[in-house]
Amino acid sequence: MTDLIAMGKAAKIAGRQLATLTTRQKNEALLAIADEIEAQSSVILAANAQDIDDGRSRGLSDSLLDRLLLTEKRVTGLAADTRKVVDLPDPVGKELESRLLPNGMRLSRRRIPVGVLGVIYEARPNVTIDVATLSLKAGNASILRGGSETLRSNLALVTVIQTALRDVGLPQTAVQYIDNPDRELVSQLLRLDEYVDMLIPRGGAGLHKLCREQSSIPVITGGIGICHIFVDESADLDRAVDIVENSKVQRPSVCNALDTVLVHPAIAQDFLPKMALRLAKSGVELRASSEALDILNKLQHEAKVVAAGPGDFDQEWLSLILGVRLVANVDEAIAHIQKHTTEHTESILTNDWHNATKFVNALSSSAIFVNASTRFNDGGQFGLGAEVAVSTQKLHARGPMGLEELTTYKWIGYGDGHIRP
């Protein structure tokens, strides 16, 4: 039987030890993990092959099976990713500020690890390595719970990690995995606030809702993006087509992919057909508001266009579908976005200084772009080196979460007999 309280206690103790490690010690552990991944490649692949077999007989789609699949090349990639984490700067120990108070006490604020992370995720087994290695680099212990489709792969990977930890003299409980597929254990994990400091769900809207509603641990919500582009009257239309295409088509299944394009009426007659013809090449289906539909219908059968139904502007499509609507001006675009957004990513395409400024100032989404693709809201693109999640909440971290966002801080007051008057 899985004893989550015992796992939590062990994680807390391991976390205290990790918090005092030097960067060199943490990097040694990461390099040992990378080596062990390569050494155990055949074991990992065998476990994954069983997962894939099971998935195929359970009727999982080919595209999902491809996401779950590990190949020799992908395993080598896992080791390479781990070595990249070695190269990332250690966020722990940085003095965020330091000053002398008027009473002569020196006060500093120092970055420290969060402690214990709980991570609930679905699908791809590389998340196991990503999350475990980034947690370790930031000095945190982690308790992982992956999807049942890759249970064997995940267990093989966690064994690899724990072996490497043991080999470098670190506690194996620094990375633990909940191997019992019973959903009740997720509920238990959500109440483990005595031991787990931060909960990171990585999955669909349902998982985020469950965590927000049931967790007594602070949750990082995010990863759900109803993303908008507003094509303003003054936009360069050719570039606008490129940006909309890139935002929608480059990787439609991810959270920063475009969901709704809002178009200024003055350029709709020119822009919409150009856009529709370009998107048609990638097989994008358009869900158009009535005014947009009037324009797009003139294209006849060159593009897939249907009338937008109720709720179509509240969809994170995650597929080759795009909502299209005309809005009178930037104010109406902002109003539409405020009504429908999940505060993930929005972009305005314009050559108008006033409208760009208004758009940037009025919206509070985690990332707002001017004349750029929504696909840039990403830890790698922002130069964070890695990404654990994309947060759309207002507390702690917003947008791509890198290593720094897996830390907190403490205040330190260096006195010399100071008492408060």
Binding residues vs its own copies (CB under 8 A): 16, 19-20, 99, 101-102, 105, 107, 112-115, 193, 197-198, 212-213, 216, 218-219, 236, 239, 242-243, 245-246, 250, 338, 360-373, 375-377, 381-383, 393-396, 398-400, 408-420
CB of 191 to its own copies, least distance (A): 8
Distant-in-sequence, close-in-space partners of 317: CB < 8 Å, separation ≥ 6: 252, 257, 259, 323
Complex with its own copies: residue 176 or 407, whichever CB lies closer: 407
CB of 103 to its own copies, least distance (A): 8
Complex with its own copies: residue 16 or 336, whichever CB lies closer: 16
CB of 380 to its own copies, least distance (A): 10
Distance CA 42, CA 201 (A): 30
Distant-in-sequence, close-in-space partners of 249: CB < 8 Å, separation ≥ 6: 279, 282, 284, 320
Complex with its own copies: residue 266 or 335, whichever CB lies closer: 335
Complex with its own copies: residue 193 or 316, whichever CB lies closer: 193
Distant-in-sequence, close-in-space partners of 233: CB < 8 Å, separation ≥ 6: 264, 266, 267, 350, 352
Complex with its own copies: residue 289 or 355, whichever CB lies closer: 355
CB of 68 to its own copies, least distance (A): 25
CB of 59 to its own copies, least distance (A): 34
What φ, ψ does residue 282 adopt, rounded to 5°? -100, 5
The DSSP secondary-structure symbol of 47 reads H
Complex with its own copies: residue 56 or 212, whichever CB lies closer: 212
Counting Cα atoms < 13 Å in the Cβ hemisphere of 90 gives 23
CB of 171 to its own copies, least distance (A): 16
Complex with its own copies: residue 42 or 408, whichever CB lies closer: 408
- Contact between residue 397 and residue 367 where contact means Cβ atoms under 8 Å apart: no
Complex with its own copies: residue 17 or 148, whichever CB lies closer: 17
- 71's enclosing H/E stretch is none
Specify the length of the chain in residues: 421
| Whole-number CA gyration radius for the chain | 24
- Taking alpha carbons only, the member of 201, 350, 192 closest to residue 262 is 350
Distance CA 11, CA 6 (A): 8
In the block, which residue shows the tokens 């505060």? 343
Complex with its own copies: residue 74 or 396, whichever CB lies closer: 396
What is the maximal distance between C-alpha atoms in the chain? 83
CB of 372 to its own copies, least distance (A): 3
Residue type, 234: S
CB of 397 to its own copies, least distance (A): 8
CB of 352 to its own copies, least distance (A): 14
- Contact between residue 151 and residue 179 where contact means Cβ atoms under 8 Å apart: yes
Distant-in-sequence, close-in-space partners of 353: CB < 8 Å, separation ≥ 6: none
**CB-CB neighbours of 333 under 10 Å:** 27
Distance CA 150, CA 56 (A): 12
CB of 164 to its own copies, least distance (A): 25
Complex with its own copies: residue 169 or 417, whichever CB lies closer: 417
